[in-house]
Structure 1
Amino acid sequence: MRGLTGLSSSEVEEKLRIYGFNTVPEKKESTLKIFVKKLQGLTAYTIEAAAVISFILGRYIDAAIMILLLLLNAFIGVLHEQRAGKAVEMLKSRLKIVVKALRDGEWRDIPSEYIVPGDVVKVRLGDIIPADGVVLEGHLLVDESTLTGESMPVEKNPGDPVYAGTAVARGEAIIRITATGPRTRYGRTVELVEAGKPRLLIEEITSSITRWLLAVDVFFVVLVVVRLLITQTPVVDALPFTLTLLIASIPIALPAMTTITLALGSVELARAGVIVRRLEAVEAASMMEVICLDKTGTITENKLVVKDIIPLREGFTEHDVILYAALASEPDGRDPIDKAILEKAGELGVDLGSVSVMEFKPFSPESKRSEALVSMGGRILKAVKGAPQVLVDVDTTLDRERFNEAVRTLGDRGMRPLAVGVEENGSLRVIGLIGIYDKPREDSQRFIEEIKSMGVKPVMVTGDNYYVAKSIARSVGIEGRVVSLKGVPREELADLLDSAGVFAEVVPEDKYEIVRLYQSKGKVVGMTGDGVNDAPALKQADLGVAVSNATDIAKSVASVVLTKPGLGNIVDVIRLGRVVYRRIVVWAINKIVKTFQVVYFVSASTLLLGAPILTPTHMILMLFLYDFVTLSISTDRLRPSSKPEKWNVRRLVKVSVILGLVKIAELFLALYLGLHVLSLQLEQARTFVFYTLLTSGLFNILNFRETGWFWHSKPSKVMTIALTTDILAGTIIAWKGWIIQPIPPPVILIAFVYTVAVTLILTDAVKIAVFKLFKYS
């Protein structure tokens, strides 16, 4: 639109002062409210009940210790949640919608939060509209489903309103912004990162394990209560003890552990150039078995050049072919093919200035062509360029054999053929082919091999023809049949999945269907993409990956967004996803074994002795110290599996039960050592067992983090510090008699040496044997 200059810098500053940034402030809970929530729930209520009962019985010190530990645990939980929240905020800040706005008479790339009312903005296919506005010129087809739920795109012409958060499905237009931030129709701009925490498979699995443990615990608690009543223990004395047995079964650290582990894993990926939009993406990455790879920009460099020009009609030269191709290209567009053609036209000295472009229609995935209505030498005609298979069906006068041979030749040489045509008086003639070359990245073959070595099947999915796809796949090491989907019935597609390594000549619906069919076969599927046509498949995939140059629409539906080109980040996603998975598995094994150590051993020993071997104070103190360390598992350096992970709950429980029984045997031996060899009184024996239980549980973390001997890999610095701090704290508490009965240093040393011997040697040897027996690797 001539004469349109947009806003000046001073006007933008004034409007920012008046209207604020084009964002909607998120409602955040206060720290105090989060803290209070930590004092609610089954675990907190059980501890509070035990404290109240202790207070009523006059055990004021026990009650005070329970409340103090509960408050301290809530405080630590708040700190960890805030850290996880900051991690998500950091990730959100990495994903910015950039808008092309007219400022001071120039088109500039402006972050969407700096858009103000009155701004003139250009939007096109693949963009997300940053704020409410009205169309000034151009035509759009807009997907408003995110706002209205209506699946059909809505046509927008000059004078029509457009809304923040909607996506441009077709066309290009200039709009004037009318409302920003909270003043938009729905009170917000589009958010590219979802901070909400979904229900994860990992949470469901660990919760089901916990429910099973709790059911068994209730059985043991009933037996203990009966035993205490038989020995005429007052009910008011037995009640705090039974409550704390139940506390030991409740996963105090589960919510924090899952969130923190996934959030910190997301931060690690962000450092590697991967932005995680949804936390479940990390989980999906660990289990992914098939990755559907887009060719352009992922496997190849996405630096397109015109490598070959083939005229196909008499009277038309290479110069003519590139001229008409350039006329059908958008000069200020972002399409890499258009840029390559215009650069080649410049190299060949093609003069575009003498031709008047009257109307231009950009490329769309549906038509697979772009065209321009031009005035040339007094003639009105259309310059057309597009997919060979599209244009050849229109031109009935073309020598098909020669055309197909030329397409095949370009494809065999790794080039993408593009047909160029001239339409005059309603008749389209294909005048030539252009070979667009996008060579594979130097590191693509290496990363493809890494992906295969991880047990993930790479499948190339591309709109290019059979020959180009075959050439590229061969050069980077993608194995399997090369299948052209042109003309293949949808019902036959499922039979091709197992043998195919490349799908060529696909349309957007094919990409979606390929992902869905793999999933119907029970596969966990990843999909990479960059354009509007990739969005349905990205959304359907278990792990949707928007590559570095993806459109806003692709980013908005993907699970993760890459900030670096190539396949390296995808390898990072798989590797770190499996590390995060292992962290949670290690936590689950420790949880089950700890329940055996604390609940079942304490219950069994109480049945044997007729009196609790640990008091409620002992147990709550130990559980607090132990859970403090288990949170550090979320930072641990674990070795990723060499194959996709799968939850095998039965195997996990069997492994944990065997190890738990071994730990019970070791603890009964320690109890015998304390009572009969060291001849400790009951109160001192309780401290001896408390210290042995604590150190044994801490050393278990070192054991279970490795499938081999515990010394095969070093724990993270955070875990090392947490373990050392806990052992020192437990030693000082047992020695000085803080809260519990003191025991002499020689007795502490005996307990420590015993624990090291049975846990880091005996338990570790049993663990290796059990892992081999159940093929746990």
Structure 2
Amino acid sequence: MKEARQTRFRVGGMDCASCAGKIDRAVRRMPGVSDVSVSVTAGTMLVRHDETSDLDAIGRQVAGLGYAVSPGGASSGAADHGHRADHGHDHEHDHAPDHTHDHGHGAAAKPAVEGLHGHDHVPSDGPWWASRKGQAMLLTGAALVLAYAAGLLAPAIAPYAFTVAMLIGLVPIARRAFMAARAGTPFSIEMLMTIAAVGAVIINAAEEAAAVVFLFLVGELLEGVAAGKARASITSLAALVPKKAFVEEDGRTREVPAETLAVGTVILVRPGDRIPADGIVVEGESAVDEAPVTGESVPVRKRAEDTIFAGTVNGDAALRVRVTAAAADNTIARVVRLVEEAQESKAPTERFIDRFSRYYTPAVVAVAALVACLPPLLFGGSWSEWIYKGLAVLLIGCPCALVISTPAAIAAALSAGARRGLLMKGGGVLEGMGKLTAIAFDKTGTLTEGKPKVTDIVALAKPAEEVLRLAAALETGSSHPLALAILDRAAADGIAVPPVTGAHALGGKGVAGTVEGVEVFLGSPKAAAGRTAYSGETRERVEALNAEGKTVSLLVVDGALAGAIAMRDEPRPDAAAGLKALSDAGVRTLMLTGDNRRTAEAVGARLGIEVRAELMPEDKQRIVGELRKEGLVVGKIGDGINDAPALAAADIGIAMGGGTDVALETADAAILHGRVGDVALMMDLSKRTMRNIAGNIVIALGLKGVFLVTTIAGITGLWPAILADTGATVLVTLNALRLLRPIR
């Protein structure tokens, strides 16, 4: 059995879906290739193949079409790991080094470079006039101006001068058309352009032929500039990670390239520096600006044991950080990689447009032939007049604007979402988000912070501050979530915690020790009742706190009840507002949790959400299935671990988390920063994208329809006809780029 493999290439110079279509069809015909995914905006090509494939030959095939080819990851800050981002979550064979990066990957770059000579699709990082496309346009424009001047000075040579000007621009276009035809794309935009220009010269319209070629080159250049803006919107994320880092070894600090940092290395991050790697703070406390990664507008206070992300900015104090991910696997690298993979995964609308265009372009050629031939043959029309109109129809019918209408918008939306910390793995997920009619949330870590906080300090025999001081002393050094909540509250209140001696845990009951010479116990009400008596009023107070979903610990000091501390996993600050935004949009929301009913209902009452509690993972999966049977389009939001069955059962599974492997890899989408309000933003982005796509299709088809009518009526000719294609393509791309605006 032949083993399935996949290889990613970087492809430079793709500016529109027509480019992607040519590459797709050319590579798909190669031996051993089973599937091809091409992303114009990401500039990547993912090839699924078996071991018989010749990757050198694939590189030469793409280079022959006029595009730059290099091994996957060569031109991006994110290394490629071959992850697949489509809905099926297929990861098989993706991590085997000999499957994705060898077999001639390095060799593929060489024929790619050699095959570029004379072609127009060479990428350029400089100004537009320094690119090969820009130079071809300027040279053709200069030749056109000279042809006009020659026509004024010597009218007899004007046709020849315009023919030369036309050929200067047309020769590379015709060469690409020929290569595309050989590779399986006979009806390319270049082929239609070549036929139209040559036909115009034959019917003595050389001046218009030259003008059409020049306008075509202008349109291609504008497409390239617009596509470059879209591409830069996501690849600019990679530039956020600094190139250098300061490593601490044996008490000394030295500067090293950030890409060489190994997991476990301790680095120094100075105030004001960008953090060069994902890591955990081991020493120091500082405000960190996470806006570049998560979109969080307010700096987040970081202290020991807190997680920080590469590309974020350290604030007011030095931090010592232990690196937890290599450069190829840091949060930004994974975000870039996932967005690129998402752009390779087509949405249903995009797939429909692709299928439509396969029949549309040959149909346009047939219509153009009928326009050119039928009137002269049946009605005695002028051959030159109707051939001219047929050539114009040929240019009007070019499908570029129509084909790019969907992927341009989806790529821009995916990039804009990623910059806000909203990851969607493919156009299908983006399209589906706006169709959700019910969303099921996990509680812990999704609607709530995921860790308890002290909510009430009840003073009985001692003041509240003293109750907290003694409790914190007992909990010093403990990693239990309730202990950490007490210690955090003491630190926040600026309480000096005294030392404890003989501290020891009492399994299932609490903790005891000696503080300042006094025996102190902190534990459950039941355990405390075994040490001291307390009044019915106190018992009622404890029960009231329990009814609110809070965990209550009683403090016993020297055999007497001193006070109580209540703790609860509190809702996220934006949870109520985020759920209201969904309800206002007509989306049904409910909480699915394994927590006890009393706690869940207390949180649900505060948030105004339907609650299903005390659920096992299979119960959550069953409920999601029941909602779908009711005809609802269901989204499931959780942490990606114990919610995995329900995430898989939902129409769209969304992981909530701060850039963890689970949050990024498990579900169909991920909300990096964990804001509940971002769910509504993600849905709004989906709806805006679909409206943008509809507008793009109207622009593409509307302009073609207008020029088709005016051309057949004899009002417009060849050079306005080319505007119906290149002009529409530029308008569609610019309209799609509006989605790159920051999401609010």
Cα distance in 1 for partners of 2:574, 2:324 equals 47
Shift of 1:451: 1.1
Deviation at 1:82, TM superposition (A): 1.2
User: 1:83/1:212 Cα in 2 relative to 1: closer, same or farther (>3 Å)?
Assistant: same
State the superposition RMSD in angstroms.
6.3
**Would the aligned equivalents of 2:550 and 2:567 in 1 still touch at CA under 8 Å?**
yes
- Residue 567 of structure 2 aligns to a residue whose secondary structure is strand
How far off is 1:83 after superposition? Answer: 0.8
Correspondence 1:571 to 2:717: no
Within a 5 Å distance, the mapping from 1:729-768 to structure 2 comes to none
Distance 1:474 1:419 in 2: 23
Aligned to 1:206: 353
1:722-767 superposed Cα distances (whole Å, 9 cap, x missing partner): xxxxxxxxxxxxxxxxxxxxxxxxxxxxxxxxxxxxxxxxxxxxxx
Task: Give a deviation string over 1:674-701, Cα, whole Å, max 9, x none.
Answer: xxxxxxxxxxxxxxxxxxxxxxxxxxxx
Q: 2:599 is matched with which residue?
A: 468
- Once the two structures are TM-superposed, the CA of residue 469 in structure 1 deviates from its matched residue by 1.7
In 2, Cα distance between the equivalents of 1:454 and 1:544?
19
From the superposition, tell whether residues 85 and 534 of structure 1 become closer, same or farther in structure 2 (CA, over 3 Å): farther
CA drift of 1:274 comes to 3.5
Amino acid at match of 1:206: I
User: Structure 1 residues 613, 329: CA separation in 2 closer, same or farther (over 3 Å shift)?
Assistant: farther
CA contact (8 A) 2:707 2:724 kept: no
Once the two structures are superposed, the pairs formed by residues 69-88 of structure 1 within 5 Å of their partners are 69-88=215-234
Q: Match of 1:339? A: 484
**1:238 to partner: Cα distance:** 4.9
Deviation at 1:616, TM superposition (A): 3.2
> How much has 1:214 moved relative to structure 2?
5.6
Q: Which amino acid aligns with 2:676?
A: L
Query: Does residue 445 of structure 1 match 2:570?
Result: no
SS in 1 for 2:400: coil
Report 1:361-372 matches (<5 A): none
2:191 alignment partner, one of 33, 36, 45: 45
1:145-164 aligned within 5 A: none
Tell me what 1:672 maps to.
Answer: none
What secondary structure is seen at the aligned counterpart in 1 of 2:334?
Answer: coil
Residue 412, structure 1, aligned to residue 514, structure 2 = no
Aligned to 1:629: 731
Residue 229 of structure 2 aligns with an amino acid whose one-letter code is R
Cα distance in 2 for partners of 1:443, 1:188 equals: 24
Report the Cα distance in structure 2 between the residues aligned to 1:630 and 1:77, rounded to whole angstroms. 10
Percent of paired sites with the same residue:
23
* Aligned-partner Cα distance in 2 for 1:268–1:541: 25
Please give the secondary structure, in 1, of the residue aligned with 2:454.
Answer: strand
* Cα offset, 1:76, TM superposition: 1.4
Contact 1:323 1:350 in 2 (8 A): no
Judging changes above 3 Å, is the alpha-carbon distance between structure 1 residues 119 and 448 closer, same or farther for their aligned structure 2 residues?
Answer: closer
Partner letter of residue 579 of structure 2? I
Compare 243-252 and 72-81 and name the one that shifted more: 243-252
Residue 554 of structure 1 aligns to a residue whose secondary structure is: helix
Alpha carbons 2:216, 2:722 under 8 Å: kept: no
Asked if 1:33 is matched to 2:176, the reply is no
Matched residue, 1:719 = none
Distance in 1 (CA, whole Å) between partners of 2:664 and 2:366 is 51
- Partner of 2:697 in structure 1? 588
- CA-CA distance at 1:189 after TM superposition: 11
Residue in structure 2 matched with residue 245 of structure 1 by the alignment:
393
Distance 2:655 2:509 in 1: 28
CA separation of 1:294/1:406 partners in 2, compared to 1, >3 Å: closer, same or farther? farther
- 2:421 pairs, out of 269, 274, 281, with 274
Partner letter of residue 196 of structure 2? A
Relative to structure 1, the CA distance from residue 66 to residue 580 in structure 2 (aligned partners, 3 Å threshold; closer, same or farther) is same
Q: Deviations over 1:46-97 (max 9, x none)?
A: 112222333344432232223222222221121122111111123456799x
Answer whether contact 1:534 1:554 (CA < 8 A) is retained.
no
Shift of the alpha carbon at 1:291?
Answer: 2.3
Bigger CA drift: 80-89 or 244-253?
244-253
Deviations 1:468-499 (A, max 9, x none): 22222222222x4x32344x795xx5xxxxxx
Code of the aligned partner of 1:55: V
Cα distance between partner residues in 2 of 1:580 and 1:178: 36
* Aligned pairs for 1:67-466 within 5 A: 67-91=213-237, 113=259, 115-116=261-262, 119=265, 191-193=334-336, 194=338, 195-196=340-341, 197=343, 198-208=345-355, 210=357, 220-221=367-368, 223-224=370-371, 225-232=373-380, 238=386, 241-266=389-414, 268-269=416-417, 273-276=420-423, 278=425, 280=427, 281-296=429-444, 298-300=446-448, 304-307=452-455, 331=478, 337=482, 339-343=484-488, 410=545, 412-413=547-548, 415-417=549-551, 435-440=566-571, 443-466=574-597
CA offsets 1:276-327 (integer angstroms, 9 cap, x no match): 35453543332222223343455445673234699xxxxxxxx999999999
Tell me, yes or no, if the aligned pair for 1:213 and 1:592 is still in contact at 8 Å: no
The one-letter code sitting in structure 2 at the alignment partner of 1:48 is: T
Write the distance in 2 (CA, Å) between the matches of 1:261 and 1:78: 16
User: 1:84·1:259 contact (CA, 8 Å) conserved in 2?
Assistant: no
Mapped contact 1:94–1:275 kept (Cα < 8 A): no
Specify every segment of 5 or more residues in structure 1 that has no aligned partner in the other structure, as ranges. Answer: 1-21, 122-129, 132-175, 311-318, 360-368, 377-382, 393-404, 421-432, 494-509, 607-611, 639-715, 717-777
5+ residue gaps, structure 2: 1-75, 81-105, 114-119, 124-132, 134-171, 268-276, 279-321, 459-465, 515-520, 528-539, 555-563
Within 2, Cα distance between the matches of 1:370 and 1:547? 31
Distance in structure 1 (CA, Å) of the matches to 2:495 and 2:715: 92
Helix, strand or coil: the match of 1:553? helix
Alignment of 1:709-728 (within 5 A): none
**Does 2:483 match 1:483?**
no
CA distance in 2, matches of 1:248, 1:370: 78
CA distance in 1, matches of 2:199, 2:189: 16
- TM-score normalised by the chain length of structure 2: 0.50
One-letter amino acid of the counterpart of residue 346, structure 2? R
Distance in 1 between the 2:456 and 2:612 partners?
Answer: 25
Secondary structure of the 1:304 match is strand
> 1:615 aligned to 717, 723, 726, which one?
717
How far apart, in 2, do the equivalents of 1:71 and 1:307 lie?
67
**For 1:503-538, what per-residue CA distance to the aligned partner results, in whole angstroms no more than 9, with x for missing partners?**
xxxxxxx3x665566557664443433464456655
| 2:647–2:654 CA contact under 8 A, matched in 1 | yes
Deviations 1:604-631 (A, max 9, x none): x56xxxxx55433332234433443333
Query: What is the count of residue pairs matched by the alignment?
Result: 494
1:188, distance to aligned residue in structure 2 (A): 13
What one-letter code is carried by the residue in structure 2 that aligns with 1:632?
L
1:181–1:293 distance in 2 versus 1, CA, 3 Å: closer
**Letter of the 1:33 counterpart:** V
Report the counterpart of residue 722 of structure 1 in structure 2: none
Instruction: Calculate the TM-score normalised by the size of structure 1.
Output: 0.49
Query: Residue type of the partner of 1:90?
Result: S
C-alpha change, 1:592 and 1:566, in structure 2 (3 Å) is: same
> Following the alignment from structure 1 to structure 2, what is the Cα–Cα distance between the partners of residues 56 and 541?
61
Distance 2:595 2:589 in 1: 17
Say whether the 8 Å CA contact 1:444–1:476 is kept in structure 2: yes
**Offset at residue 231 of structure 1 (A):** 3.9
Q: Quick one: which amino acid aligns to residue 339 of structure 1? A: L
Structure-2 change in CA distance of 1:527 and 1:203 (3 Å): same
8 A Cα contact 1:117 1:179, kept in partner: yes
Q: How does 1:518-667 map to 2 (within 5 A)?
A: 518=627, 523-530=632-639, 532-534=641-643, 543-547=652-656, 549=658, 551-558=660-667, 561-562=670-671, 566-599=675-708, 601=709, 605=712, 614-635=716-737
SS of residue matched to 2:595: coil
Aligned to 1:314: none
